[in-house]
Amino acid sequence: MTADVTTTAAWATLSKLHDSFAPDLRGAFAADPDRATTLTRTAGDLHVDLSKNFLDADVLEALVALADEVGLAERRAAMYAGERINVTENRSVLHTALRRPRTDSLVVDGVDVVVDVHEVLDKVYAFANKVRSGEWKGVTGKPITTVINIGIGGSDLGPVMVYEALKPYKQAGLECRFISNIDPSDVFEKTVDADPETTLFIVASKTFTTLETLTNAKMARWWLLDALKRAGAVDGSDAQDAEAIAKHFVAVSTALDRVAEFGIDPANAFGFWDWVGGRYSVDSAVGTAVAVAIGPDNFADFLAGMNAMDVHFAETPWAQNVPALMGLLNVWYVNFFGAESHAVLPYAQYLHRFAAYLQQLTMESNGKGVRADGTPVTTATGEIFWGEPGTNGQHAFYQLIHQGTRLIPADFIAVATPAHGIRCDGADVHELFLANFLAQTKALAFGKTADEVRAEGVAEALVPAKVFKGNRPTTSIMAPALTPSVVGQLIALYEHITFVQGVVWGIDSFDQWGVELGKALANQIAPAITGDAAALAAQDASTQGLIAYYQAHRAR
Ligand code: F6P
């Protein structure tokens, strides 16, 4: 039976600490001038200031004790070694192997997985170089200018986020687009102005069974062949269609047999393994679009950044271990302060898809109601992750974080050197941006008292509305710049934070059964929409009513 964290001594200690804990960040900083230094940690290139959290020496000690009592070190070792810790799917969890250096070795079930990883990486890099140099040509002999990745979930969110984050590293003249939604508008918008002669599709699907991706890939194939035919580039014969597909479609999957069935030459397919979870796969061949855009050297730096964080997580004592501390703090907020959501607020426009990426990573991993052994969880699990880049969020939802009734711990992320050091009216605009980053974390921590408001001459009736209670916990993460390595470090940081929380809660963070029911029902309901009377009769009254509305209002 999975150990019940709520029965541990550390849990009891945390519970006691919580009962007498009166958050007072102003007081804590006033009492200890060294607080910021004492509670700042370094992981790789990341400077992580934990001082504006509900943290003191006693809480830190209890959180570290909790890590020990739940066997975090053993679980971490089991994951890194390739033990089948994804118990409900009976799989190893080896995304950390994807970024191990070539000189490493890790034998799992008799296979050195590091050798396999680098074999595929070499193939991806060779392909990326061919596309980047123009050696890879479309069916009419033109080089590729547009790469369209077709995938969903982990086969989309990671590649999009990293492509956007590392846009300054992209090769000029090469553009990536991403199709994920089965809403045909997505395919339409991404192909409407694309030139079929210079467009290459990457169909990314771990299973190569995902309805959305296969449907989108079929639509893309149809679009390509039709457009090429209309341009007179192919004559519509099977042979020329096959040649066009070979030059304009590659695939990424663990199921190379299904890739071949789809009509993509397995020679143009990049494999990975069932021990890579979809949401942990951007550092596998799933990142091929990114490798093409930023090039093999930058992609290798990205992987090295992830590996640096893996090493930090593996080797650093808990009290200094950034992913462990951030994961344990999340547990502290979720389970003792009732926090339900967690904001991630990058002050870096290029990280504008980071929160969307984190939503799958964290919520598909830790949104579980049973523990690894199938017994019900004994405490709240998961957190709702969300966010937007600052400063946009400031003018939208920060009001609720500052003055609302909910506790929303937030991670703020910023870099010292921006990609574009633009000045305006004599000011370095990045410094104005950073002033906002610093101002927000300061306001959230320390607030503004009624006396401070009054001192500004505010009418008494308005004082309550202008008071900021403060004591809104934040973590500030700073890095030198948004390099490929730093983006890799950030991803691995959150992967390990997610892992730590999952271990504390005793859940399997690596399965995702919760997405299956909807998929199965969609398959049952599809015929009801298209007119199958028996399928319609089998539906509940609400579903029938909605289908009736659809049928009455669908314009054709
Ligand atoms: O349905 C959820 C999910 O299985 C995710 O875990 C995964 O990232 C996504 O679908 C896409 O799956 P695939 O890469 O197999 O198409």
Query: Residues 127-168: pLDDT tens digits?
Result: 999 999 999 999 999 999 999 999 999 999 999 999 999 999
> Catalytic residues, which ones?
364, 395, 519
Distance 211 CA to ligand 1 centre (A): 10
Query: Residues 501-554: pLDDT tens digits?
Result: 999 999 999 999 999 999 999 999 999 999 999 999 999 999 999 999 999 999
Q: Is 482 in the pocket of ligand 1 (CB under 6 A)?
A: no
Q: 4-13, 253-262, 325-334: which range is least confident on average?
A: 253-262
Q: Is 206 in the pocket of ligand 1 (CB under 6 A)?
A: yes
Distance 119 CA to ligand 1 centre (A): 24
Q: Is 154 in the pocket of ligand 1 (CB under 6 A)?
A: yes
Nearest atom in ligand 1 to the alpha carbon of residue 155 is: 14
Is pTM, for the whole model, over 0.75?
Answer: yes
- The mean pLDDT of 199-218, rounded to a whole number, is 96
3-state secondary structure at position 326: helix
Query: Residues 454-476: pLDDT tens digits?
Result: 999 999 999 999 999 999 999 99
Query: Which residues neighbour 179 within 8 Å (Cβ) at sequence distance 6 or greater?
Result: 148, 149, 150, 186, 187, 190, 216, 220
Q: Is 215 in the pocket of ligand 1 (CB under 6 A)?
A: no
Name the one residue in this structure whose structure tokens are 């990049």: 270
Q: What percent of the chain has pLDDT over 70?
A: 100
pLDDT above 70 (res 70): yes
Nearest atom in ligand 1 to the alpha carbon of residue 151 is: 16
Out of 86, 88, 89, 152, mutate this one to test ligand 1's pocket (max ligand atoms within 8 Å of CB): namely 152
pLDDT above 90 (res 329): yes
pLDDT above 70 (res 350): yes
Nearest atom in ligand 1 to the alpha carbon of residue 213 is: 16
| pLDDT for residue 549 | 98
Q: Is 515 in the pocket of ligand 1 (CB under 6 A)?
A: yes
Query: Residues 271-315: pLDDT tens digits?
Result: 999 999 999 999 999 999 999 999 999 999 999 999 999 999 999
Nearest atom in ligand 1 to the alpha carbon of residue 204 is: 14
Whose alpha carbon is nearest atom 2 of ligand 1?
Answer: 515
Q: How far apart are CA 241 and CA 239, in angstroms?
A: 5
- The mean pLDDT of 181-187, rounded to a whole number, is 98
Confidence band, pLDDT 50/70/90 cuts, at residue 2: confident
Query: Residues 409-426: pLDDT tens digits?
Result: 999 999 999 999 999 999
Distance 285 CA to ligand 1 centre (A): 15
Q: Is 153 in the pocket of ligand 1 (CB under 6 A)?
A: yes
Q: How far is CA 196 from CA 52, 398, 424, in A?
A: 52, 44, 41
Phi, psi of 292 (to 5 degrees): -65, -45
Distance 154 CA to ligand 1 centre (A): 6
| pLDDT for residue 1 | 64
Helix/strand/coil (H/E/C) assignment for every residue in 40-81: EEEECCEEEECCCCCCCHHHHHHHHHHHHHCCHHHHHHHHHH
Distance 129 CA to ligand 1 centre (A): 28
Nearest atom in ligand 1 to the alpha carbon of residue 279 is: 8
Q: How far apart are CA 160 and CA 519, in angstroms?
A: 23
Q: Are 174 and 132 in contact (CB under 8 A)?
A: yes
- The mean pLDDT of 76-90, rounded to a whole number, is 98
Q: Is 278 in the pocket of ligand 1 (CB under 6 A)?
A: yes
Query: Residues 361-402: pLDDT tens digits?
Result: 999 999 999 999 999 999 999 999 999 999 999 999 999 999
Q: How far apart are CA 529 and CA 549, in angstroms?
A: 11
- The mean pLDDT of 331-347, rounded to a whole number, is 98
Residue 243 token pair? 């040649």
- The mean pLDDT of 188-205, rounded to a whole number, is 98
Q: Is 284 in the pocket of ligand 1 (CB under 6 A)?
A: no
- The mean pLDDT of 427-448, rounded to a whole number, is 97
Distance 182 CA to ligand 1 centre (A): 13
Q: How far apart are CA 252 and CA 286, in angstroms?
A: 6
- Element at 147 (helix H, strand E): strand 146-150
Q: Is 207 in the pocket of ligand 1 (CB under 6 A)?
A: yes
Nearest atom in ligand 1 to the alpha carbon of residue 516 is: 1
Distance 207 CA to ligand 1 centre (A): 7
- Distance linking the first and last C-alpha atoms of the chain: 57
Distance 41 CA to ligand 1 centre (A): 35
Confidence band, pLDDT 50/70/90 cuts, at residue 3: confident
Q: How far is CA 97 from CA 34, 80, 104, 114, 314, in A?
A: 39, 8, 9, 6, 13
pLDDT above 90 (res 35): yes
Crossing angle between the packed helical segments 238-248 and 211-230, to the nearest 10 degrees: 120
| pLDDT for residue 448 | 98
Q: Are 376 and 500 in contact (CB under 8 A)?
A: no
pLDDT above 90 (res 224): yes
Whose alpha carbon is nearest atom 5 of ligand 1?
Answer: 153
